[in-house]
């Protein structure tokens, strides 16, 4: 999907300066590889984190400054033999489901609708362990007819896709596969104790698809790759959405505005382990933070840059995923830049407000989590204390009760 491949020295060399520049954006819009978690605040361990370490960044900078030399060809690692599976970051899927073909004109209004549902072909009930959606299209081979019209994602036309499991009796499967896909999104690997049921004879419905023009006449389709838990697997926990948002009507982003922020809050109605932090904004968004408020304490769980080419789902590592008691207030803060410095804004002379088009704005956390009973919650906290060898009063990021004190008590306030 990238504009160039990085397989050989000859392919890489012309991009040396651009590689140094893009990789050193660190957590800001445009960074490569695409991953924008800020490393100086909040929880730091994630699944499938492709970001570069400071040592790797220094190595790239030193190499570029030295004139990007080839080095000793004898030290070159053997070229990778591509098997075709690498197109899927979840590994070889057990099942690949393909939508009907779609087409989008180079310059056309946004399109919302549904595609025909597709049978999964399953002959027995299975639980989904990982899910990946990818858009396959011919945009790269098409001439760019509208210069500068690449509002979000250079080649994508699928802004988002909601895919639902439909049981053989035609009913939507509650809590079934699959999370909403957003433009440029990575794969979803579910918590090992949460399986999403896909019944024998079920279908996948592509019931909320949003497409936008990308400046090229584009034809393509959606592919969904699913990996299953082993046969006989039984899930322990119930998956839940962790959604916090700002009312779209409040978003008011003047032409040329920068440093503008909006917040939103929600109270957790059940004990929750947050498994996925997923900022969702649109073109003007540049940064997004998630905080948890309990008692008198406000803790920043995660902050990330935002790039509407890459709406990334950040999956916390199992041992550090936020473990929050019911009643915790979740707060989101989204930052906007409606200037030419934001490459996703088409024309910064325009006012923009809330809305569903890619050029409108949103401010939402579309996270995922696990709902825990009081007993399950107490067990999870005790396990975490034991694993971390925590004794007495201590601070465990993202887990207010792991510290051995009720965070809402006057003692905790001191």
Q: Which residues of the chain form contacts with ligand HEM (CB under 6 A)?
A: 1-3, 15, 18-19, 22-23, 32-34, 154, 309
State in angstroms the smallest separation of the CB of 273 from ligand HEM. 28
The least distance separating ligand HEM from the CB of residue 14, rounded to whole angstroms, comes to: 10
Nearer to ligand HEM among residue 6 and residue 413 (C-beta):
6
Instruction: State the pairing for strand pair 352-353/252-253.
Output: antiparallel
Contact 116, 100 (CB under 8 A): yes
* Cβ-Cβ contacts under 8 Å for 204 (sequence gap 6 or more): 97, 117, 118, 120, 163, 164, 165, 166, 177, 178, 224
- Look up residue 400 and give its two tokens: 């207010």
**Closest distance to ligand HEM from the beta carbon of 22 (Å):** 4
**Smallest gap, in angstroms, from Cβ of residue 33 to ligand HEM?**
4
Nearer residue to ligand HEM within complex by CB, 50 or 109: 50
Judged by CB, which is closer to ligand HEM: 3, or 392? 3
Least gap, CB of 323 to ligand HEM (angstroms):
30
CA dist 234 to 127, 164, 238, 315, Å?
A: 8, 21, 11, 22
Q: Quote the tokens at residue 150.
A: 């690449």
Residue 330 · residue 365 · CB < 8 Å: yes
SS3 of residue 140 by DSSP: helix
Nearest to 64 by CA among 14, 30, 2: 14
Look at residues 352, 330, 355, 358 and name the one whose alpha carbon lies nearest to residue 247: 355
Q: Please, which residue, 187 or 380, has the CB nearer to ligand HEM?
A: 187
Q: Strand pairing of 258-267 and 271-277?
A: unpaired
Question: Are residues 370 and 237 in contact, defined by beta-carbon separation less than 8 angstroms?
Answer: yes
Strands 181-182 and 102-104: unpaired
Q: How far is the CB of 113 from ligand HEM (least distance, A)?
A: 26
> What minimum distance in Å lies between the beta carbon of 217 and ligand HEM?
19
Nearer to ligand HEM among residue 299 and residue 307 (C-beta): 307
Please give the Cα distance from 390 to 208 (Å, whole number). 46
Question: CB 224: neighbour CB atoms within 10 A?
Answer: 23
The upper half-sphere exposure of residue 183, i.e. CA atoms within 13 Å in the direction of its Cβ, equals 27
Question: CB of residue 342 vs ligand HEM: minimum separation in angstroms?
Answer: 13
Q: Where are the beta strands (DSSP E) in 229-373?
A: 238-245, 252-253, 258-267, 271-277, 279-281, 285-294, 297-305, 314-315, 323-324, 329-337, 352-353, 363-372
Our CB check for ligand HEM shows the closer of 32 and 313 to be 32
Query: CA 367 to CA 376: how far, in whole Å?
Result: 21
Q: Which is nearer to ligand HEM, 237 or 310 (CB)?
A: 310
Compare residues 3 and 259 and give the one whose CB is closer to ligand HEM: 3
Q: How far is the CB of 59 from ligand HEM (least distance, A)?
A: 11
Closest CB to ligand HEM among residues 32, 166? 32
> Please, what is the minimum distance in Å from the beta carbon of residue 61 to ligand HEM?
12
The residue (of 18 and 413) whose beta carbon lies closer to ligand HEM is: 18
């Amino acid at each position: 999907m990238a504009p160039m491949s990085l397989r050989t020295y000859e392919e890489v060399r012309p991009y040396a300066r651009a590689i140094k520049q893009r990789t050193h954006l660190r957590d800001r819009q445009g960074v490569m590889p695409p991953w924008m978690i800020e490393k100086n605040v909040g929880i730091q361990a994630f699944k499938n984190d492709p970001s570069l370490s400071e040592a790797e960044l220094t190595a790239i900078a030193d190499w570029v400054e030295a004139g990007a030399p080839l080095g000793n060809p004898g030290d070159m690692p053997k070229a990778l033999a591509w098997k075709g599976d690498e197109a899927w970051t979840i590994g070889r899927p057990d099942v690949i489901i393909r939508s009907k073909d779609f087409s989008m004109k180079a310059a056309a209004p946004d399109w919302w609708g549904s595609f025909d549902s597709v049978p999964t072909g399953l002959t027995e009930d299975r639980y989904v362990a990982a899910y990946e959606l990818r858009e396959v299209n011919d945009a790269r081979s098409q001439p760019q007819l509208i210069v500068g019209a690449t509002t979000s994602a250079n080649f994508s036309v699928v802004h988002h896709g909601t895919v639902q499991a439909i049981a053989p009796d035609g009913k939507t499967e509650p809590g079934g596969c699959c999370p909403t896909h957003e433009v440029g999104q990575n794969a979803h690997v579910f918590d090992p104790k949460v399986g999403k049921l896909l019944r024998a004879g079920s279908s996948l419905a592509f019931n909320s698809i949003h497409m936008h023009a990308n400046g090229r006449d584009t034809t393509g389709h959606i592919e969904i790759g699913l990996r299953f838990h082993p046969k006989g697997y039984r899930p322990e926990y119930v998956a839940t959405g962790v959604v916090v948002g700002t009312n779209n009507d409040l978003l008011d982003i003047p032409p040329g505005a920068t440093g503008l922020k909006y917040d939103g809050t929600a109270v957790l109605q059940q004990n929750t382990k947050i498994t996925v932090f997923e900022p969702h904004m649109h073109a003007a968004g540049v940064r997004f933070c998630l905080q948890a408020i309990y008692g008198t304490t406000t803790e920043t769980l995660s902050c990330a840059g935002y790039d509407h080419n890459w709406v990334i789902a950040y999956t916390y590592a199992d041992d550090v995923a936020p473990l929050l008691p019911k009643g915790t207030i979740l707060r989101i803060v989204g930052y906007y830049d409606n200037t030419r410095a934001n490459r996703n804004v088409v024309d910064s002379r325009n006012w923009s407000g809330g809305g569903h088009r890619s050029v409108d704005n949103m401010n939402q956390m579309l996270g995922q989590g696990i709902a825990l009973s009081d007993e399950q919650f107490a067990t999870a906290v005790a396990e975490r204390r034991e694993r971390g060898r925590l004794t007495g009063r201590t601070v465990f990021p993202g887990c207010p009760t792991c510290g051995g004190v009720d965070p809402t008590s006057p003692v905790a306030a001191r």
